[in-house]
């Protein structure tokens, strides 16, 4: 284990404050074993960091794939919607073209009718005033 605990230094510090050598060494040994079993080493933390990085990269790959699939699905749906709208607009334009042609035909007929009525009115006036 790669830790910063120095059992010998710890034992000397205990002896310096009046703990017997046997007790200080036993205390240092037990604390060293406890730290070895409970504390994470740098290698443990590095390994955990690598595992987390790998999992995050896998998650990112999955999410990117799902987002790409969703984007493709939405693009397809928007394209289909746009096609339906364009078809409806084209149908309306065709109906408007037919309606415009019908109105033009009616206007042409009205012009001929007005011209005929005017000509007949002129003929009546001429007949009345110039018998």
What is the rounded distance in angstroms from the CA atom of residue 20 to the CA atom of residue 67? 67
Q: Tell whether pTM > 0.75.
A: no
Q: pLDDT tens, 12-35?
A: 888 888 888 888 888 888 888 777
pLDDT (mean) for 34-49: 82
106, pLDDT greater than 60: yes
What is the rounded distance in angstroms from the CA atom of residue 25 to the CA atom of residue 32? 10
pLDDT > 90: what percent of the chain?
64
1, pLDDT greater than 50: no
11, pLDDT greater than 90: no
- C-alpha closest to that of 31 among 17, 49, 14: 14
Q: What is the pLDDT of residue 40?
A: 75
Q: pLDDT tens, 63-99?
A: 999 999 999 999 999 999 999 999 999 999 999 999 9
Q: What is the pLDDT of residue 23?
A: 86
């Amino acid at each position: 284990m790669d830790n910063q605990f120095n059992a010998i230094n710890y034992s000397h510090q205990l002896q310096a404050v009046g703990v017997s050598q046997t007790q200080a060494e036993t205390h240092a040994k037990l604390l060293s074993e406890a730290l070895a079993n409970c504390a994470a080493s740098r290698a443990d933390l590095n390994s955990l960091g690598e595992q987390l990085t790998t999992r995050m990269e896998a998650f990112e790959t999955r999410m990117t794939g799902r987002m790409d699939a969703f984007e493709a699905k939405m693009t397809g749906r928007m394209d289909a919607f746009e096609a339906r709208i364009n078809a409806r607009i084209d149908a309306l334009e065709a109906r408007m073209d037919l309606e415009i042609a019908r109105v033009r035909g009616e206007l042409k007929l009205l012009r001929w009718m007005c011209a005929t009525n005017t000509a007949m009115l002129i003929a009546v006036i001429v007949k009345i005033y110039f018998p």
